[in-house]
Amino acid sequence: MTTEPVLMLEQEAAMMALAGATIARAKTLDNADAVRDALTRLRRGVWVSLNAETLASCLAVFRILPSAHRILLLNPISRQRLELLRASFEYVVGAVDDGFRLLPRDELIDVMLSDYPGDRFIGVAADREAGALVLLRGDLQPLVVPLTWFRRVEGFPAPDPTDAEIIDWGHTLRMGEYEAAADAILYDFDAAFRKRAKAKRVERDNSFGGALRRLRLARGLSRGDFPGISAKEIARIERGEVSAPHADTLARVAKVLRVKPEEIQTY
Amino acid sequence: MTFALPLPDQSLARNWKVKIRLHERNEEPHVSVIFKGSSVFRFGLRTRAFLDRDPDPRLVPQEIIDFILAHLDELIENWGLMYPENPVSSTEQEEDDD
């Protein structure tokens, strides 16, 4: 469970509650002193702001050093005020022209106030030139995913990054007609998420062979897709019949799976 | 293109979705039961049981489980189209000694 507080100004929290958002678990701040205290005393925090002009004006009267706090702006803000926020927050998202397409507001607040906000996405921005997506997790941590990572299946639509959004209450990334599970993305890109997900399985196979099999299937590969290694050999490793696969074999398997040899066991 | 099983009960459909997406965690054939809250439940198409102990599968309404079981053939067929390298009928061991 996350230990980072979600902070917002009291008057904004009241407005969000009126709009139907469940903000009971948020820590609300009722004046500029409380804002300053939160920014200086708390090591990290996630902020949500409807009217960041008000919040920025609170910051203007104090000298606050850059912090590890992150903030999501739900409404536009002037350039000048944006710079003020950027001087005080590690990461500011939702500002003018940052390109993020966010979840509907009520769903977004729901994700941010959940027990594991980082396990769902609240926004996405596509950078087609760089060939990557920036996914915004509910704890306001960005995650960069190359477009080449998404599997393509013959006869089915390819991902369309020009039409990307987060749906299903943060559980699905949609790109045109293509949909990818948030947990599939996190499983591959976040070792801590992977560790937790493995622990939740009913039938846990923590062997090296089990991990190799899961990773191979996650990559959409058959046992015959490893040049220089027979399908039979891969099957023997997956069944645990090879007690210590040779380092060269492991290196070649890892290369095809696009991981380091020592990472295979974590899947 | 995602395969989504349309739930017949509108009150259920507001809070739940049953889907096979084009990029799932492809370790075992399954259908994702997505709850409006923070949970995704993976229902195994081979084992016909939930794959994870957390979130607690008992939170999934029995009507949804019954609906999935009633449409199992359709779900298996769609999984096979989307994940031809890992079909439900395969037991993995069968392809060992090719």
CATH number of the CATH domain containing A137: 3.30.2020
Confidence (pLDDT) at A52: 82
pLDDT at residue B98 greater than cutoff 90: no
Measured between alpha carbons, how far is B48 from B60 in angstroms, rounded to an integer? 14
Instruction: Please count the structural domains in chain A.
Output: 3
Amino acid at A263: E
A12 and A89 fall within a common domain: yes
A87 and A11 fall within a common domain: yes
- The three-state secondary structure class of A261 is helix
Answer yes or no: is A105 within a domain: no
A214 and A190 fall within a common domain: no
Nearest to A218 among B25, B37, B51 (CB): B25
- Is the CB of B43 inside 8 Å of chain A's CB atoms? no
- Is the CB of B58 inside 8 Å of chain A's CB atoms? no
A14 and A53 fall within a common domain: yes
If you average pLDDT over residues B56-64, what whole number do you get? 93
Contact in structure between A250 and A264 (CB atoms under 8 Å):
yes
Q: Which residues of A touch B51 (CB under 8 A)?
A: 201-203
Measured between alpha carbons, how far is B72 from B37 in angstroms, rounded to an integer? 25
- Is the CB of B24 inside 8 Å of chain A's CB atoms? yes
* Alpha-carbon distance B76 to nearest alpha carbon in chain A (angstroms): 17
Mean pLDDT value across chain B: 88
A47: domain range? 6-98
If you average pLDDT over residues A212-224, what whole number do you get? 88
Q: Which residues of A touch B40 (CB under 8 A)?
A: 171, 181, 183
Answer yes or no: is A27 within a domain: yes
A180 and A119 fall within a common domain: yes
| Boundary of a domain, candidates A183, A198, A213 | A198
pLDDT at residue B57 greater than cutoff 90: yes
Nearest to B52 among A115, A178, A202 (CB): A202
Measured between alpha carbons, how far is B2 from A155 in angstroms, rounded to an integer? 12
Answer yes or no: is A1 within a domain: no
pLDDT category at B94 given cuts 50, 70, 90 is very low
Contact B85 A217 (CB under 8 A): yes
| Boundary of a domain, candidates A70, A98, A126 | A98
Answer yes or no: is A234 within a domain: yes
Contacting residues for A63 by C-beta, under 8 A, at least 6 apart: none
Confidence (pLDDT) at A264: 92
Confidence (pLDDT) at A1: 64
pLDDT category at A13 given cuts 50, 70, 90 is confident
A93 and A32 fall within a common domain: yes
Mean pLDDT value across chain A: 88
Top-confidence range, A2-11, A61-70, A243-252: A243-252
Answer yes or no: is A103 within a domain: no
A249 and A222 fall within a common domain: yes
Contact in structure between B59 and B35 (CB atoms under 8 Å):
yes
Answer yes or no: is A69 within a domain: yes
With a CB-CB cutoff of 8 Å, which residues 154-183 of chain A face chain B? 155-157, 168-169, 171-172, 177-181, 183
Closest CA to A118 of A194, A178, A65: A194
A155-212 pLDDT, tens per residue?
999 999 999 999 999 999 999 999 999 999 999 999 999 988 888 887 667 789 988 9
- Is the CB of B23 inside 8 Å of chain A's CB atoms? yes
If you average pLDDT over residues A221-233, what whole number do you get? 92
A136 and A94 fall within a common domain: no
Confidence (pLDDT) at A230: 94
Answer yes or no: is A88 within a domain: yes
Contact A217 B96 (CB under 8 A): no
Confidence (pLDDT) at A57: 80
Q: Which residues of B touch A235 (CB under 8 A)?
A: 93, 95-97
Chain position carrying tokens 């939170």: B59
A93 and A125 fall within a common domain: no
Measured between alpha carbons, how far is A199 from B49 in angstroms, rounded to an integer? 17
A117 and A87 fall within a common domain: no
Q: Which residues of A touch B49 (CB under 8 A)?
A: 202
Confidence (pLDDT) at A263: 92
- CATH of residue A246: 1.10.260.40
A94 and A139 fall within a common domain: no
Top-confidence residue, A226 or A85: A226
Confidence (pLDDT) at B97: 43
pLDDT at residue A61 greater than cutoff 80: no
Confidence (pLDDT) at B91: 58
B5-41 pLDDT, tens per residue?
999 888 888 899 999 999 999 878 999 999 987 789 9
Answer yes or no: is A129 within a domain: yes
If you average pLDDT over residues A35-58, what whole number do you get? 86
Q: How many Å is the Cα radius of gyration of chain A? A: 22
A114 and A83 fall within a common domain: no
Using a pLDDT cut of 90, give the percent of chain A over it.
45
Q: Which residues of A touch B36 (CB under 8 A)?
A: 169
| Boundary of a domain, candidates A144, A166, A198 | A198
Contact in structure between A16 and A75 (CB atoms under 8 Å):
no
If you average pLDDT over residues A209-222, what whole number do you get? 88
